[in-house]
Structure 1
Amino acid sequence: MTNTTTLPQVLRFTDPGLREQLEALPEGTALIGIGTDGTAIAIDVDHAPHILICTGTGGGSTTILRTLTAQFLHQGAHALVLDGPLVAHLWTKDLPTVTHRGSVAGIHDALVGLAAELQRRLHLDGDLDDAPRLMVVLDRADDTMRHLARYWETFRQKDDPKKSPAITALEDVLHAGRQARIHVLYNGRATAGSLAPAAREQFATVILARVSAGTWQRLAPIAGPAPKSSAHPGRAHVVQDDTTHPTQLLLMTDAEAADWLTATAAGKS
């Protein structure tokens, strides 16, 4: 196993030259962190359209969502932020290219609307030049899926489908989002009670930190046995193309993300 002691001790947005490196990345590519040999561990959503993030307590899942979402927004993407905790992503609320929803009803309606947007984009038949990339960001996603299922049961009629249309919409995006330039960043375990197995298989990049061996085997079975977790802040394992990369994650605060994007919108980036 690669020696994780060769990882950087910390990787911050304020490190000299790092902001410039982020701004030089190609559209659709975001830095996750730095690997053991000093190389960038990044995600290209045109190649691997959806990202699953699963961490134990203190693993930094909300920070990972923030740093990735901020990079895509900087590149001109729009975001639908489904903030189950209500306060985890308030840094996005004043950004003009972000739709922020926190209540179960609001998240339900946003996902139902997303289904229509997916179909609209698919009917463009690849002519998406005027359609910005759309990031669907779900924090505490498994809890949100359970709340959506219960919410649907409160007003589902006899002839309505049993499954919540909001959950169906998310699963449809996981299957067809690449063609529509819609990408899901899902913070959770994507258990059988939240997403159908075929939908869970659409996460080509999996970021894991401080998870149990059982969770590792469920989410990254082809990557082999679970490596040793680290309590060091910002340490994670990124699984891409069945390869595991020990990684020091990029850390960006709420204020840094909001200020960067406000400067971007003002043309000062």
Structure 2
Amino acid sequence: MKKTALPKMLSFSAPDLREQIEALPEGTALIGISTTGQAIAVDLDTESPHVLVCTASGGGSTTMLRSLTAQFLHQGAHALVLDPKRISHLWAKALPTVTHRGNIAGIHDALVHLAAELERRLDLDGDLDDVPRLIVAVDEANTTLRQLARYWETFRQKDDPKTSPAIAALEEALWAGRAARVHVIFDGRPHTTALGGTSVAHELFATVILSRFTANTWRRLAPMAGPVPKKQNPHPGRFHVVQQDSTHETQAVLMTDADVVNWLTDPEAPES
């Protein structure tokens, strides 16, 4: 299929883009526009209950988490944003439907609470019409998992489970989240010991978003999409989006912190 020239940046303020995003059905978010001119989106309800984002440092994963989470928030979702750097998602602190946690103790407690919320939702047995969708956005997930494991060891008692209850809660959200309208956007690579390893990616993440990846990362996380791409585009915001057995080179939507806060607190305001 013929490729088209994409802009080096696909800003939320670009002509007609905001309208295109706002016209999407509930549960669907625009990832970006492919080099074939196709709108590439993720559908949490029928295609991909969770999203895996995996990039090298500076590859745009934080921007991707912000854009996707903001779109679901605009549709009425709530969000739990886990931000171990404490400064990557300051936009989240300004929004009433977002719980932002940065320090590891707060992240641990939030995930333990998530386990209780997941159980409550599952007990509703599908009667979730009045329950808002919950997005769990995990930035720097591999670092977060390591810190959670170490944190649990500092006060784990003899009869306590070996696995951190926070890590167990995240794993349960991945396996049972679809039935409870709980969806994880996971920035990182599934840990070899936590979350079941890369097999989790194949079973639970039907949408995998990759940038600045190695050949080994591609073979582990996107084997269904065929050979490793021969060349990666160096433009900021350019990703390979793998869905089922297809891959799309995609320029992602860029939403700044200000874009998100203005959009979600004053939906009638014009684009900045």
Q: TM over 0.5: same fold?
A: yes
State the SS of the aligned residue for 1:161: coil
Instruction: Give the conservation status (yes or no) of the 8 Å contact 2:225–2:245.
Output: yes
Instruction: Find 1:226's aligned residue among 218, 225, 228.
Output: 228
Q: Does 1:77 align with 2:69?
A: no
Q: 2-side partners of 1:26 and 1:5: how far apart? A: 26
Misfit runs of 4+, over 2 Å? 2-10, 197-201
Aligned pair count reads: 266
User: How many Å apart are 1:167 and its aligned residue?
Assistant: 0.5
State the SS of the aligned residue for 1:257: helix
Instruction: Give the conservation status (yes or no) of the 8 Å contact 2:50–2:174.
Output: yes
Indicate how the Cα distance of structure 1 residues 5 and 18 shifts in structure 2: closer, same or farther if over 3 A, else same: closer
Superposed CA RMSD in Å reads 1.5
Which residue number in structure 1 is paired with residue 218 of structure 2? 216
User: How many Å apart are 1:226 and its aligned residue?
Assistant: 1.6
Which residue number in structure 1 is paired with residue 264 of structure 2? 261
User: How many Å apart are 1:14 and its aligned residue?
Assistant: 0.5
Instruction: Find 2:242's aligned residue among 239, 245, 250.
Output: 239
Comparing 57-66 with 195-204, which one deviates more in the overlay?
195-204
Instruction: Give the conservation status (yes or no) of the 8 Å contact 1:7–1:37.
Output: no
Q: 2-side partners of 1:242 and 1:199: how far apart? A: 16
- Unaligned segments of structure 2, at least 5 residues: none
Alpha-carbon displacement from aligned partner over 1:4-52 (angstroms, at most 9, x marks no partner): 6643432110101111111111000000000122110000000211000
Q: How do 1:1-269 and structure 2 match up within 5 A? A: 6-47=5-46, 48-197=48-197, 199-200=200-201, 201-227=203-229, 228-264=231-267
User: How many Å apart are 1:194 and its aligned residue?
Assistant: 3.6
- Unaligned segments of structure 1, at least 5 residues: none
Instruction: Give the conservation status (yes or no) of the 8 Å contact 1:128–1:180.
Output: yes
Opposite residue 14 of structure 2, the aligned amino acid is D
Q: 1-side partners of 2:133 and 2:147: how far apart? A: 27
State the SS of the aligned residue for 1:93: helix
User: How many Å apart are 1:3 and its aligned residue?
Assistant: 6.5
Opposite residue 22 of structure 2, the aligned amino acid is E
Normalised to the residue count of structure 2, the TM-score between the two structures is 0.94
The percentage of counterpart residues that share the same residue type is 66
Opposite residue 37 of structure 1, the aligned amino acid is T
Opposite residue 215 of structure 1, the aligned amino acid is T
